[in-house]
Chain A
Amino acid sequence: MDNITEDNFENTAIIVSDGCCVQLGNLQVLDDVTFSINKGKKVAVVGPNGGGKSTLFNAIAGLIPIVDGSLKIKGMSPEDARGTISYVPQKDLINKNFPLSVKQVVEMGLIDRKSLNLFSRKKINIKIKQALENVGLQDKIDENINNLSGGQFQRVLIARGLAQNADILLLDEAFSAVDVGAQEDIMNLISDINLDGKTILIATHDLNNLEEKFDEILCLNRHCCAYGDPSKVLTKEVIEEMYGSHNEMFKYHTTESHSKNND
């Protein structure tokens, strides 16, 4: 926020959470979560299992209600902002039994309530090709999705969001079940997309080199433990707050350990 005035900040903030609380049944999954994400930022959402990463994504996507506080997407309620968000859920929530082609999946980004036809129009085909070119999969347009690697499938789902021209991409556990090379591919791809001003939130368990990959980091454990520049906020205390007794496993990911290594 160095040279940005308060007014400018308000204009560029695309997701603003102010004391947001979410309850699932009797369980308070998110408690008093406050942060503000600016347009075009690449944000890693980290935290333990059950820490509320997916719940936060569901709240941003308008799938579950906020019980207290507020959550605004482009100044609108999450329900009203639907259509400006593309959500890539965790893999096991997608039904890959359907023998769909890459083209059919990308086309879903262009389907809305008015899509009442069986066949695709020429204009739609052009948009699908452009989206696939952006993710480097233009030669896989007719490939069955079940023949793709985990990384390629993630890229297809990102292409779906690009075809939709969504302002915000939510990727829940995008790096699970993909190898290191595929992770690198996805990150490079996301860096390119970012140039178009899209805001990207990725829920991840991988704390390696976060400061190289992301602009900001949101640390969650039911509440917001920290939010900001990854090289500054990932302190020993924050990691302990997130992972409790397991924090020793992450001692090499703290900002302190990075500083020592650099010295």
Chain B
Amino acid sequence: MKCLSITRQKVTAKIMIEILVEPFKYEFMTRSIITASASGVMLSLLGPFAINRNMGFMADAMAHATLPIIAVGVFLGFSISELGVPASILIAIFLGYIIKNSNIGEDTAIGIIFSSFFALGFVLISLLNVTINLEDLLFGQILAVSSFDVLIVVGMCFVVVLLITIFFKQLLFYSFDPIGAEVRGLNTNFLNYLFLVVLSVAIVASLQTVGIILVLSMLLIPAAASKQITDTFLSSIFVSIFFGVTSSVAGLYLSYFYNLPSGPTMSLVATFIFVICFIASKLRKVKI
């Protein structure tokens, strides 16, 4: 009887491994999983900073503001990944400058840029007769990534992680108490633009994974889920990264086996994790 149970366990383990390995038979799936993981790491690393600084709307505007740059870039023969770095730096600096130097309020300034750039993108696509699959752009098409795209996204992920690690303490000080940080002698202007550029890089690099509309979900949901069940900021970052990568990879597997759109599936897995964490947090409070 015991022997039969062990055999059953072995068979189950073998089936599980086969399921996990099966997508790797296809090169495009290997490329997709690497890209999804890199996006998951980047976005969910920055997520805890973004949610605690209430920068969700700003991040959404960054994603939407890429449309005109993508339209012109594709018209000139570049891919979205190739445009990533210059586009993200331009958007971050432009948004940062407008917000700082306009007297109409941060939300209003972001709202104007958000809608006008998105509208300009659609007009340019029509005017320049650019061949872009809008659905892919809005909701992501990770299965179409090339080896070169993978290299760029992984490279950007490396740069984002490195910069956040190096400037972590300064960024945290600036985010918590900007005036205190400036008086202490930190270069707060540099830190402000550094975070905007890094956030923009992560968003633009993830457009092919989850698209313009859903990139926000991968930035905010893993971070919000992790905040429900962690007590310190550093632990919330590590848990957020774990949730981000899990949502990306699990979403990709589900989309592969059930023939679902990859971006929205990743987003829904992240939401599912958030709901579990939210309930767990409420139950913990009730127990206390």
Known A-B contacts A101-B232, A117-B169; A108 and B177 likewise in contact (beta carbons under 8 Å) = yes
The 10 closest A-B pairs by CB, nearest first: A87-B183, A97-B52, A61-B183, A82-B185, A83-B185, A89-B179, A108-B173, A98-B52, A116-B166, A115-B169
The CA of A144 and the CA of B232, in the complex, are separated in Å by 8
Q: Decide if A63 touches B183 in the complex (CB within 8 Å).
A: yes
Known A-B contacts A95-B53, A98-B233, A99-B227; A115 and B177 likewise in contact (beta carbons under 8 Å) = no
Closest A residue by C-beta to B173: A108
The CA of A77 and the CA of B177, in the complex, are separated in Å by 23
The verdict on A86 contacting chain B, using a C-beta distance below 8 Å, is yes
Chain A positions within 8 Å of B168 at CB level: 118
User: 17 additional contacts, CB 8 Å, given A86-B184, A89-B179, A160-B180?
Assistant: A63-B182, A82-B183, A83-B184, A93-B179, A94-B176, A95-B53, A97-B54, A98-B233, A99-B227, A100-B232, A104-B233, A108-B173, A108-B177, A113-B170, A144-B231, A144-B232, A157-B180
Known A-B contacts A111-B170, A118-B169; A82 and B176 likewise in contact (beta carbons under 8 Å) = no
Closest A residue by C-beta to B164: A118
The verdict on B255 contacting chain A, using a C-beta distance below 8 Å, is no
Q: Decide if A95 touches B177 in the complex (CB within 8 Å).
A: yes
Q: Decide if A112 touches B186 in the complex (CB within 8 Å).
A: yes
Q: Decide if B184 touches A112 in the complex (CB within 8 Å).
A: yes
Q: Decide if A104 touches B184 in the complex (CB within 8 Å).
A: no
Interface residues in B53-77 by Cβ distance below 8 A to A read 53-54
The CA of A107 and the CA of B165, in the complex, are separated in Å by 17
The verdict on A85 contacting chain B, using a C-beta distance below 8 Å, is yes
Chain A positions within 8 Å of B236 at CB level: 99
Mark each residue of chain A from 134 to 162: 1 if its CB lies under 8 Å from any CB of chain B, else 0.
00000000001000000000000100100
Chain A positions within 8 Å of B181 at CB level: 108, 111
Interface residues in B214-265 by Cβ distance below 8 A to A read 227, 230-233, 236
B residues with a Cβ closer than 8 A to A are 51-54, 165-170, 172-173, 175-187, 227, 230-233, 236
Q: Decide if A115 touches B176 in the complex (CB within 8 Å).
A: no
A-B contact pairs, 20 of them (CB 8 A): A61-B182, A63-B182, A86-B184, A87-B180, A88-B180, A89-B177, A93-B177, A94-B180, A95-B53, A97-B53, A98-B172, A98-B233, A99-B231, A100-B232, A107-B169, A111-B186, A113-B170, A115-B169, A115-B170, A118-B168
Interface residues in A67-113 by Cβ distance below 8 A to B read 82-83, 85-89, 93-95, 97-101, 104-105, 107-109, 111-113
Q: Decide if A99 touches B232 in the complex (CB within 8 Å).
A: yes
Chain A positions within 8 Å of B173 at CB level: 108, 111
Chain B positions within 8 Å of A112 at CB level: 184-186
Chain A positions within 8 Å of B165 at CB level: 118
Chain A positions within 8 Å of B176 at CB level: 94-95, 98, 100, 105, 108
Q: Decide if A89 touches B180 in the complex (CB within 8 Å).
A: yes
Chain B positions within 8 Å of A144 at CB level: 231-232
Closest A residue by C-beta to B230: A99
Give the distance to chain B from A109, nearest Cβ to Cβ, in Å.
7
Query: A164 is contacted by which of B52, B54, B167, B184 (Cβ under 8 Å)?
Result: B184
Interface residues in A145-193 by Cβ distance below 8 A to B read 157, 160, 164, 170
The verdict on A48 contacting chain B, using a C-beta distance below 8 Å, is no
Closest A residue by C-beta to B177: A94
Known A-B contacts A97-B52, A104-B172; A109 and B184 likewise in contact (beta carbons under 8 Å) = yes
The verdict on A62 contacting chain B, using a C-beta distance below 8 Å, is yes
Q: Decide if A99 touches B170 in the complex (CB within 8 Å).
A: no
The CA of A89 and the CA of B180, in the complex, are separated in Å by 7
Q: Decide if A113 touches B230 in the complex (CB within 8 Å).
A: no
Question: Which among A63, A100, A101, A170 has the highest number of chain B CB atoms within 10 Å?
Answer: A100
Q: Decide if B187 touches A113 in the complex (CB within 8 Å).
A: yes
Q: Decide if B183 touches A86 in the complex (CB within 8 Å).
A: yes
Question: Which among A62, A82, A95 has the highest number of chain B CB atoms within 10 Å?
Answer: A95
Question: Which among A93, A101, A108 has the highest number of chain B CB atoms within 10 Å?
Answer: A108
Q: Decide if A116 touches B167 in the complex (CB within 8 Å).
A: yes
Chain B positions within 8 Å of A157 at CB level: 180
Closest B residue by C-beta to A105: B176
Q: Decide if A63 touches B186 in the complex (CB within 8 Å).
A: no
The CA of A109 and the CA of B179, in the complex, are separated in Å by 13
Closest A residue by C-beta to B54: A97
Give the distance to chain A from B219, nearest Cβ to Cβ, in Å.
16
Closest A residue by C-beta to B187: A113
Chain B positions within 8 Å of A115 at CB level: 169-170
